[in-house]
């Protein structure tokens, strides 16, 4: 299996893992960007990818940015489909009360490679009953 990345910007860095046991590969910024407190913005990576036809990339938040800075990927996990060939961008949201400055080379997100499943979809008139039934949104208690 081979995933190909093309640099669209001279500052782009091919995704890499910090440790061989890591599931996620770091994505870095190629630009200066300011994410104001309580707002969000698109940060460019300067990369395009070519995936095998049965694979997707999931873009996820970095735990350190989330815990220490309040910075999250807004639509996490974001999906990069196998047929997409344009630049990969990351929508960063700032949940803190301070502006967040992104600089070229900053690790802004992580990506994980997944094989999506494509089940047959059918419309039915009734669904099987379960012991949970229609309970949701805290129906099993808060603790």
Sequence spans of domains, the chain: 4-114
Q: How far apart are CA 141 and CA 132, in angstroms?
A: 13
- pLDDT tens string, the chain, 143 residues long: the values are 899 999 999 999 999 999 999 999 999 999 999 999 999 999 999 999 999 999 999 999 999 999 999 999 999 899 999 999 999 999 999 999 999 999 999 999 999 999 999 999 999 999 898 887 776 676 666 66
Q: Is the pTM of this model over 0.85?
A: yes
Please name the fold of domain 4-114: Deoxyuridine 5'-Triphosphate Nucleotidohydrolase; Chain A (2.70.40)
Whether residue 41 contacts residue 35, with contact meaning beta carbons closer than 8 Å, is answered with yes
């Amino acid at each position: 299996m081979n995933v190909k990345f093309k640099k669209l910007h001279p500052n782009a860095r091919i995704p890499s893992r910090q440790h061989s046991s890591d599931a996620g590969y770091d994505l870095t910024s190629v630009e200066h960007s300011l994410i104001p407190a309580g707002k969000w913005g698109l940060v460019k990576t300067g990369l395009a990818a070519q995936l095998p036809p049965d694979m997707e990339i999931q873009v996820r938040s970095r735990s350190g940015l989330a815990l220490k800075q309040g910075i999250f990927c807004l639509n996490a996990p974001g999906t990069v489909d196998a047929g997409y060939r344009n630049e990969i961008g990351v929508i960063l949201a700032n949940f803190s009360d301070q502006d967040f400055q992104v600089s070229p080379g900053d690790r802004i997100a992580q990506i994980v490679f997944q094989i999506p499943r494509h089940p047959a979809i059918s419309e039915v008139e009734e669904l099987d009953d379960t012991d949970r039934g229609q309970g949701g949104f805290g129906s099993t208690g808060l603790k």
